[in-house]
Amino acid sequence: MKPVRWISTPREIDVFGTSHDGGYSHDAVVYALKDCGYRHIDTAKRYGCERYIAQAVKASGVPRQEVFLATKCWPTDYGATTTREAFSGSCQRLAVDYLDMYLLHWPEVSSGVKDKKKLLQETWRTLEVLLDEERVKAIGVSNFLERHLEIILEECSVTPHVNQCEFHPFNNPKMLRQFCADRNIQFEGYSPLAKGLALRDPGVVAIAEAHGRSPAQVLVRWSVQSNVPSIPKSTKLECVRANSQVYDFILTQEEMMTLNSMTQTLTCVDRNSMQMKIDNPLPDGYKLNAIPDAFIARPSPAATTAERGGQSHCYLLQELNGWLLCLGKYSQLFHALIIQELLKTPLDSLQVICCVILTKMPMPKTGHIFTS
């Protein structure tokens, strides 16, 4: 099988992220593909937006063979049969008959699994089979540390092509990167802006001013010069374009050293909470907001219980999830716990709760989605 171009030469192609944090924008994905030259779209089943990406790719007019589609398998789908089913489900939602890359999303698995090592190895073997069948062109992992990679490497026939992890100057896992490099595993970085938290750092700002660039462009450029494919994500069109305009300036050796020596104190993804999220029954895409109204059929919030009588838990929770997001009063964890409890509520009771809440709160200006 031919090597994937961006894996060997990350400067040749821009990667566009679609994580559920910060919402999903149909217009941003179309703009990235059609007007900014992005060709690698990174997503995941867990993000809940695969079906919307399919519509965006179609709307962009960019031929399928020019788009590098990468998605991920959530830990609750690990296993020989369930991983194949999850893969097929992602292909169906993305409206494709093959994927360019498929990743294991996290090394953690459900708490009820007795032999976690065996499950990871079995799941990886399933990805190898999909690769042999040419249903996917590259396979890899995400958020794997050295000890997790060792489990895969112990039994694998195909070494992971990629390990996708958080990567920015304030979270630069040098030992993990070297571990991957020594085994010909491409290290790929998400959250290059540290979810915006790195943009105000005085050192980053000073370098940006010296080049007449934005702090975001400096951070993405740092990833490029570190030979790490970067996955910036934005729903703002001006930021989408700016994040791709990082190939006409070069950071000096001194500037690279400054960024490489930043204190490693900023982590955007909390590994300690991941087990709870994996064991949590929340549907995929539960954090998404800002889905264009055109993609959501929404009844009036004043609809009666009878009018909502035929609706499922998932649809009603979609409504309540949107209002919780609009309130903005809750932490992500508390928000998740609220929805988790509502999932246990009998449908008839949930219909009453939904009607009462939605008639007492103003209609949000943007749609929200809670996918099944």
Distance CA 171, CA 194 (A): 8
H/E segment holding residue 311: none
Q: Specify the residue for token string 């200006």.
A: 365
Selection from 277, 234, 137, 316 nearest residue 324 by Cα: 316
User: Who's near 316: CB < 8 A, 6+ residues apart?
Assistant: 308, 347, 350, 351, 354
In the set 31, 38, 47, 102, the catalytic residue is: 47
Angle ∠(326,329,332) on CA atoms, nearest 5: 90
- Asked whether the beta carbons of 226 and 262 are under 8 A apart, the reply is no
DSSP assignment letter at 99: B
Distance CA 24, CA 291 (A): 6
H/E segment holding residue 136: none
Decide: helix, strand or coil at residue 146.
helix
Which tokens belong to 269? Answer: 């993804």
End-to-end CA distance of the chain: 35
Helices (runs of H) and strands (runs of E) counted in the chain: 15, 10
Distance CA 261, CA 169 (A): 8
Q: Specify the residue for token string 């994580």.
A: 19
Distance CA 22, CA 301 (A): 24
Query: In this structure, what are the phi and psi dihedrals at residue 79, rounded to the nearest 5 degrees?
Result: 130, 155
Selection from 34, 30, 74 nearest residue 56 by Cα: 30
Decide: helix, strand or coil at residue 165.
strand
Give yes or no: 286 in active site.
no
Catalytic residues: 47
